[in-house]
Amino acid sequence: MSEFLTPGGLEEALREIGRTRYHNLHPFHRLLHGGKLDRGQVQAWALNRFYYQSRIPAKDAALLARLPTAELRREWRRRLEDHDGHETSPGGVARWKALAVGVGLDPEAVESTRLILPATRFAVDAYVNFVRERSILEAIASSLTEMFSPNIIAERVSGMLANYDWITQDTLAYFTPRLTQAPRDVDFALAYVQQHADTPEKQQAVLAALRFKCDVLWSQLDALYFAYVEPGFVPPGAFTPAPERQAAGTLA
């Protein structure tokens, strides 16, 4: 059915998915980096996104457990180090927790994840299960949303610093190492799928895996928008911002 793509053609097809389905296109992202959200809405984003961050090591460990060679496992082990850190330096999960606390959330509420939207949990768990159950090729391909993350991070950090005077560079420290870690991860993962997707069917599976991962990210923003922007129906039991909600970008 599908033609076999050159390595460059496969990369271009992956980038086309990013141009049409990556969550930088989502209205919630535009509100966030455009300074249009109040503090409670930014808190809801940070709180829910913590669950995603906290499950990334589980996702990576599930794949690591299935990789066949020490060389591949060493490559993937770096991701665990990035996210779980070392005794002397915090990893991505701890840095995201600091971000959530920095925007005013209670550390226990963040860590327990008991107030997140059910849709966040279902989407993130779907990602972990995908990596656990699908082929190694599809699991690695699903990480390729990192091809598009440097742009979104740059937009997000500059937009948030410019528009919310209660957010500091320190609070956003999560993002700085990601700007170098993500391209390094992508170099490996992209070369891997270019080499191992050696039939049209496998190439289509790679593209489908990236679309799936875009859905995972997109649906998290759908749920945030629905609950906290418009129409603003918070599901039973989920985080409700404190009543004294502040105007966009200003301190009370």
- Give the separation between CA 147 and CA 60, rounded to whole angstroms: 17
Per the listing, tokens 């249009």 go with 36
188 contacts its own copies (rule: CB under 8 A): no
Answer for which of 63, 123, 186, 197 binds its own copies (CB under 8 A) is 123
Q: Which is nearer to its own copies, 46 or 217 (CB)?
A: 217
* Residue 249 contacts residue 164 (beta carbons within 8 Å): yes
Q: Which is nearer to its own copies, 231 or 243 (CB)?
A: 231
122 contacts its own copies (rule: CB under 8 A): yes
13 contacts its own copies (rule: CB under 8 A): no
DSSP string, 168-220: -TTTTTTHHHHHHHHHHHHHHHHHHHHHH--SHHHHHHHHHHHHHHHHHHHHH
Bridge partner residues of 86 (DSSP): 89
- Give the separation between CA 125 and CA 137, rounded to whole angstroms: 19
Rounded to a whole number of angstroms, the minimum distance from the CB of residue 231 to its own copies is 5
Bridge partner residues of 89 (DSSP): 86
211 contacts its own copies (rule: CB under 8 A): yes
How many residues make contact with its own copies (CB under 8 A)? Answer: 29
Binding mask 214-243 for its own copies (x = CB under 8 A): xxx-xx--xx-xxx--xx-x-xxx------
Cβ-in-10-Å burial (0-12, 13-18, 19+) of 230 comes to exposed
Binding window for its own copies (CB under 8 A); candidates: 37-45, 80-88, 98-106, 116-124: 116-124
For its own copies, the binding residues (CB under 8 A) are 20-21, 27, 117-119, 121-123, 125-126, 129, 211, 214-216, 218-219, 222-223, 225-227, 230-231, 233, 235-237
